[in-house]
Structure 1
Amino acid sequence: MKAIVVDKNSADGLDYSIQKKIFEENGIEFVLEDCQTEDEIIEKCKDADALLVIYRQITPRIMDALEHCKVILRYGIGYDVIDVKAATERGIKVCNSPVHCLDEVATHTIAMILAMERQLVFYNDLVKRGQWLANAGFKPHRLSSQTLGFVGFGHIARRAAEFAKGFGFRMIAYDPFLPEEVVKASGAEKVELDQLFAEADIVSLHTPLMDSTFHLIDKEAITKMKDGVMIVNTSRGPIIAIDDLMEAVKEGKVKSAALDVVEGEPITVANHPLFETGRIICSPHAAYNSVEAEQQMMEVLAQTATDVLKGKNPANIVNKKELGLV
C-alpha cells in the first residue's frame, strides 16, 4: 500500500517525519511529491491508496485516474480543494484534521481584532517613520462597548468567543446549523445574518467555503453593516469579494479589516493595492500555525489514512453519511 503527498512544498516548513514513521510502522510506503498540475498529479499519484493534499485541487478527472485510492486527506480543517461529491460517487472517503488548530486560529482571530482596534500595525508604521502621534488614525473604542459578531459558530468561533469573554464584548452569532442553546452556552446570542450585519461593530468570519458562502461579504452585504465596521477573516479568502472590501475601506464604510486569508492568495507582489489605505492588515494564511498544531495534524492524518487502509471508519470522514457509514 502507498500513501502519497500531492504537493509537499505548498506549505513552507512542514516536517513529514512523524507521518513517515507512522506509515512505515504500518507497512505503508510514504511518498512525497510536489505536483503543480492536474496532469502531473495523475502521472505521479495514480497508484496511491491514500492521497494527501495541501492546496492542489483534486478534481473528478484526477479521481478517475486513481487506480486504488480509498481515501483523500486534506492537511487542515477545510477541505474545499477536494470535490467531495465526486469522491463520494467513486466510493472514496474524504478526511480532514478537524480540531488540531482550534486554539491557534481562535487566538489569531482575537489578535487580529486587538491589532485593528488598537491600531498596532498603523502605529508601528508611524513610529518607524519618526512620527510619534498617539491621536493619529481613528479614535479607538473600549472593547466592552462593542458588539462582536460571528458569521459561523463552529468549534473555532466558539473557542474565540471563550477568549473574547474576558474583554467584555457583547457577542452575537449567525449559524443556521446550530441550535440556539449551543450558541447561548458560549455566551452569544443567536441572530439572523442581516441582524448581525446591522448590529456588529466587528464581523468575524468562521464559515466554510461553499457555493452559498462564496462572496458572502460583498458590496451588498457591506452596505447592510454599520458605518465604521471592522471585518476579520480567518476562514477562507473567497468568502470576501476582495475588490468590494477594498472599495469600502477606501470610502470609510469599513474602518479596518484583518485578513489571514485572501481571495487569490498568495499575495507575492510588493505594494499590492490591498495595502494602499493602511487600514487592512494581512497575515499569510498562518492562523493555524504552531509547533503543537502541526504535530497533531501530522499524527491525525497519518493515523486516519492508516485506519482507512486497514478497513476502519474513523470519526473524521467528512462524507461518512453520504457513503452510508453511519
Structure 2
Amino acid sequence: AAEPQCQTAADVIRVAEDAEALIVLYAPITHEVFAALPHLRIISLPLVGVDAVDLEAAREHGVWVAYVPDACVPEVGVHAVAMALALVRHLPFYDRAVREGRWDYEEPGVLRRPTHLTFGLLGCGRIARQAGASAAPSFGRVLAYDPYVPAENWPDGIERAPNIETLFRDSDVISLHAPIVAETRHIVDTALLARMKPGSYLVNAARGGLVDPGALLNALDSGQLAGAALDVFEPEPPDMNDPLLHHARVMVTPHAAYYSVEGDEEGRGRAVHNIIDFARCGRPNDFVVAGTK
C-alpha cells in the first residue's frame, strides 16, 4: 500500500529521517522537523505559498527553501472571479432554493448587472493580476490596492486605489490576494468591512487568516455583505460547527482554487527541477531562503 501523506511534523520526522531533500505540500515543517533532520539540505514546494515552512528555522539550520512563484496563477485567478460572478448572480442561492422546491427569481433580492459594478483586488501580484484580467470583461471597473508594487510596475487595465480604505469603499466585490504575514492577519476586520457598500461581496481564495471570521459573520448577518465566497479557512479543514459553513449567504469550496490537472503536474515538475538544479548547480532556480548546506 502507498505510504499515506504526512499530516503532522511527527509524520515528516518519521518518514524523512535520512532525507537530504523534501518536496512538501501542506505538512508543517517546524523547528522540530529541522532539528530532527540533520541531513536535510533543501525543501521544495510545488506552490507559491510557503507558510507550511518555518522560514526562520530554515535559515537557522542552513536549509534552502524553494518554491514555484507563479504556480497555479491561472487557476486561482479564474476561480476567484467565478466565485464572484456566482455571488453576484445568486447562483448558490438559486441552486439550493430550486432543489428545495422554490421557484422564485426575486427571492434572494436585487440582481445587478456586473458591468455596472467595481471588482476590487486586495493585492496586485501575479494571481491578483490574473483575476483582474479575468474580471475585466464582466465588470465595469477593476480597482486594486497594493502598497508594495511601485508605480512603474503597475499593470495596465487595473486602476490603483490610493489606500485600502478607498478600495473597500469603492468596490462592489472585494477579492483577496495578499500573503498571510503578521501585518495582514485579520486585516479584513469590522472597521474595514463597515467601509464597504451595503449589499457588497467578499471573495477569499488566498488565506483564511486574512479575514476576522467574527467580523465577517456579523457583516453577513447585518446585511452589510450580501454574500461571501470562501475557498480557504483557518484552520483547514474547518470545524464543521463553524457558523460560516452553514450560513445561507456563504458559498464554500475546499481550498480547490489552486487545483487543475495541468497546474498540479506543472507545479510538481518544477518542484522536482528545483531539487535537480540544486544537486547540479548548488542552488535551486526559485527560492525564498538561501541555505548554506
Query: Aligned partners of 1:292, 1:254: CA distance in 2, in Å?
Result: 35
Counterpart among 197, 220, 223 of residue 168 in structure 2: 197
Q: Does 1:93 align with 2:57?
A: no
**How much has 1:47 moved relative to structure 2?**
1.3
Asked if the contact 2:230–2:252 (Cα under 8 Å) also holds between the matched residues in 1, the reply is yes
Preserved contact between residue 260 and residue 286 of structure 1 (Cα < 8 Å) = yes
Moved over 3 A (4+): 32-37
1:227-266 correspondence to structure 2 within 5 Å: 227-266=198-237
Match among 88, 93, 99 for residue 128 of structure 1:
99
Cα distance, 1:260 vs structure 2: 0.6
Aligned-partner SS, 2:221: helix
Does the aligned pair in 2 maintain the 1:49–1:309 contact within 8 Å? no
Whether 1:78 aligns to 2:49 is: yes
Q: SS where residue 110 of structure 1 aligns?
A: helix
Q: Which residues of structure 2 form unaligned runs of 5+?
A: none
The residue aligned with 2:36 is: 65
Query: Kindly tell me: are residues 186 and 70 of structure 1, through their superposed partners in 2, closer, same or farther at Cα, counting changes over 3 Å?
Result: farther
What CA distance in whole angstroms lies between the structure 1 residues aligned with 2:6 and 2:233? 23
Distance verdict in 2 for CA 1:184–1:311, change over 3 Å? closer
Instruction: Provide the aligned length of Structure 1 versus Structure 2.
Output: 291
Percent identity of paired positions between Structure 1 and Structure 2: 34
In structure 2, C-alpha distance between the alignment counterparts of 1:168 and 1:114, rounded to whole Å: 9
Letter in 2 for 1:53: V
- When normalised by structure 1's length, the TM-score is 0.84
TM, length-normalised to structure 2:
0.93
CA contact (8 A) 2:7 2:26 kept: no
Mark the CA change 1:176 to 1:170 in structure 2 (over 3 Å): closer, same or farther. same
For each residue in 1:102-161, what CA deviation from the matched residue of structure 2 results, as whole angstroms up to 9, or x when unmatched?
111111011001100000010011111121101111212111211111111110110111
Which range moved further: 294-303 or 160-169? 160-169
Residue 311 in structure 1 maps to residue 281 in structure 2 = yes
Deviation at 1:308, TM superposition (A): 1.2
Give the distance between the partners of 1:268 and 1:129, measured in 2 at CA. 26
Could you say what the CA RMSD is over the residues aligned between the two structures, in angstroms? 2.0
Residue 268 of structure 2 aligns to which amino acid in structure 1? Answer: M
User: In structure 2, what is the Cα distance between the partners aligned to 1:192 and 1:236?
Assistant: 21
- 2 CA distance for matches of 1:223 and 1:117? 19
CA distance in structure 1 between the aligned counterparts of 2:6 and 2:262, rounded to whole angstroms:
27
Change (3 A) 1:65 1:106: same
Which structure 1 residue ranges, 5 or more long, are not aligned? 1-8, 10-31
After TM superposition, give the deviation of residue 33 of structure 1 in Å.
5.8
| CA deviation after TM superposition for structure 1 residue 100, in Å | 2.9
Does residue 173 of structure 1 match 2:144?
A: yes
* Structure 2 partner of 1:208: 179
Asked whether the 8 Å contact 1:241–1:263 carries over to 2, the reply is no
Contact 1:105 1:156 in 2 (8 A): yes
- What one-letter code is carried by the residue in structure 2 that aligns with 1:314? P
How far apart, CA to CA, are the structure 1 residues paired with 2:54 and 2:132? 31
Aligned-pair distance for 1:267?
A: 3.2
